[in-house]
Amino acid sequence: MEFGTIEREIYVEASPEIVFEVVSSPDHLKQWWPDDARYDPTPGSTGEIVFGDPDADGAIVPFTVVDVLPPRRFSFRWTHPAGEVAAEGNSLLVTFDLTPSGGGTLLRMTETGFREMGWEVAVLEQQYREHVTGWDFYLPRLVPYAAALEVRA
């Protein structure tokens, strides 16, 4: 296994505009991925996403918006050490690319930067596998959420 890039494609029965909001807006993001999200969806904005209860084994993860091209692309860096500027080598880059397809949207998610983190092999493999498991759990949750927003629109 290469442990370099995670790629997933899913079809969402919602317009690219709605799917873009679902992957870029903190209010929508926390409906399918983290328990909380605090950032401004503009390039260079920093903030955090929260998994679980931070007072009880939860995690607060630094988050930096990289690219915002509505309704085609949203990307961010995360997992960098608190207080450091996110950059290649200290963070992972997640990109959501959205393409109109039929009456909905083809969403392609890529996460890169695992090898550049400088982790020893065992840590690299563990982190990679944890992220694969996480995306396999969380990304499918986006589909019915975005479709429900489409119905309301």
pLDDT digits (tens, 9 = 90+) for 101-130: 999 999 999 999 999 999 999 999 999 999
- Judged against a pLDDT cut of 70, whether residue 1 lies above it is answered with no
The tens digit of pLDDT for each residue in 61-117 reads 999 999 999 999 999 999 999 889 999 999 999 999 999 999 999 999 999 999 999
84: tokens are: 């450091």
Strand partners, 78: 63, 92
Cβ contact 60:50 at 8 Å: yes
Question: What does R_g of the chain's alpha carbons equal in angstroms?
Answer: 15
- Judged against a pLDDT cut of 70, whether residue 151 lies above it is answered with yes
The pLDDT-based confidence of 54 (bands split at 50, 70, 90) is: confident
Q: Are strands 59-69 and 46-51 parallel, antiparallel or unpaired?
A: antiparallel
- Domains belonging to the chain, first-starting first, are 5-23+67-152 (3.30.530.20)
In the predicted model, what is the mean pLDDT of residues 14-21?
Answer: 98
Q: How far is CA 107 from CA 44, 69, 73, in A?
A: 23, 14, 10
Quote the pLDDT of residue 128. Answer: 97
Nearest to 23 by CA among 120, 151, 153, 149: 149
